[in-house]
Amino acid sequence: MVAQKLREFGCDEIVEGIGRTGVVGVIHGSRGMGRTIGLRADMDALPIEEQTGKPHASKNPGMMHACGHDGHTAMLLGAARYLSETRNFSGKAVVIFQPAEEGGAGGKAMVEDGLMDRFGIDEVYGLHNMPGLPVGEFAIRSGPIMAATDEFDITISGKGSHAAMPHQSVDPITIAAQCIMAMQTIVSRGVDPVESLVVSVTQVHSGFTDNVIPTTAMLNGTVRSLKPELRDFAETRIRQIVNGIVEAHGASVEIDYFRNYPVTHNHPEQTQKAIAIAEAVVGVGKVEKDVRPMLGGEDFSYMLEKRPGAFIFMGNGDTASLHNPAYDFNDDAIPVGSSYWAKLVETLLPPR
Ligand code: NI
């Protein structure tokens, strides 16, 4: 549908299948040669049963746009239409519609498919709606704005036994419990309290009945960080603590640690440009310039690793939070987002 819309709008070039199902549209300005700016929207949904009760609620059971990526797509399509009609800029605008932001690393897949070089992108910009921030307001910061999101899978192997003969076991459950509690000290006793780090065990799986001590216990969880040194620190300490406790009890362990999305790191110069453009759209005083970072993840981070750019939050008003079954993208924000994109292109690619 996105590719079809871009064709209808008269985009000069439309490429499908970048990063498997990503879509890219290229719009040439009519005001001279110049640089190339990338604008990125995400398109995917979440495995959540929608409970908004709205007429436009998802028709697919167990799937909904609980993060507003449908709104992001609509806003960038709006800008693509306007830019295709007016072309009041130099150089090229590249509209990027990526799949699989919600953990599938579609942004990374598009980057690895040559997105930046293929279209000659010089700078790249991203946007996400934010419940709780009023419609018509923006928020951004230079430097880290969203976290690196890592995951760990820990499998503790002990020795099963009859529950009435625990002395014959190496109980993986008590060992797992000690690991969970000890891991709570990684942040609370290992990190300067002014810094940001999350270490959470979010899954515990072991056992199958009341009268048996099982053989294995599994712990899964997540680590969120804003700085590379804290990211390294968390992984190192998880391994030290778990290996030490497991060894002390004569069990064995396998630790799989996965480094997922990197920190979304806004570049200072492009952040200042984004602030100026947002202020031009919604007015001075409506743009928070030093918003607190969020420890959610964002695969736009892969694009920011390749090119300078900035990621900005846009107000969604007083709605349910992101990833909530009652979340609803606020359509009143659509002109704000489309205007931001259009203004960004016309400002950063001035007519020559
Ligand atoms: Ni999202």
Distance (angstroms) between ligand 1 centre and the Cα of 101 equals 7
Q: How far is CA 243 from the centre of its chain?
A: 31
Residues in the 5 Å CB sphere of ion ligand 1: 67
The pTM assigned to this predicted structure is 0.92
Distance CA 249, CA 256 (A): 20
- CA of 239 from ligand 1 middle (Å) equals 31
Contacts of 346 (CB under 8 A, 6+ apart): 88, 89
Q: How far is the CA of 15 from the centre of ligand 1 (A)?
A: 23
User: Where does 131-171 show beta strands of DSSP type E?
Assistant: 138-139, 143-146, 148-157, 161-162
pLDDT number for residue 153: 98
* Residue 301 CA, ligand 1 centroid: distance in Å: 13
CA of 130 to the centre of ligand 1 (A): 9
Inter-CA distances, 177 with 171, 208, 245, 246, Å = 10, 17, 10, 11
How confident is the model at residue 71, as a pLDDT?
98
From the CA of 217, how far away is ligand 1's center (Å)? Answer: 33
CA 168 to centroid of ligand 1, rounded, Å: 50
Ligand 1 centre to CA of 326 (Å) is 15
User: What is the structure's pLDDT at 341?
Assistant: 98
Do 2-145+263-348 and 148-259 show the same overall fold?
no
The two structure tokens encoding residue 108? 């990374």
At the fourth CATH level, the homologous superfamily of domain 2-145+263-348 is Zn peptidases (3.40.630.10)
How many angstroms separate the alpha carbon of residue 65 from the centre of ligand 1? 9
Structure tokens at 183: 């891991």
CA of residue 173 to ligand 1 center, whole Å: 36
What pLDDT is stored for residue 350 in this prediction? Answer: 97
Q: What is the reported pLDDT for 322?
A: 96
pLDDT at 169: 98
297 CA to middle of ligand 1, Å?
Answer: 9
Can you give the residue ranges of every domain in the chain? 2-145+263-348, 148-259
CA distance 19 to 140: 27
The two tokens of residue 275 are 């602030």
Distance CA 86, CA 84 (A): 6
The structure tokens 């230079």 sit at 142
- Note down pLDDT in tens along the chain; length 352 residues: 999 999 999 999 999 999 999 999 999 999 999 999 999 999 999 999 999 999 999 999 999 999 999 999 999 999 999 999 999 999 999 999 999 999 999 999 999 999 999 999 999 999 999 999 999 999 999 999 999 999 999 999 999 999 999 999 999 999 999 999 999 999 999 999 999 999 999 999 999 999 999 999 999 999 999 999 999 999 999 999 999 999 999 999 999 999 999 999 999 999 999 999 999 999 999 999 999 999 999 999 999 999 999 999 999 999 999 999 999 999 999 999 999 999 999 999 999 9
* CATH code of domain 148-259: 3.30.70.360
Output the pLDDT for position 80. Answer: 98
Distance 345 CA to ligand 1 centre (A): 23
Please tell me the distance between residue 81's alpha carbon and the centre of ligand 1 in angstroms: 23
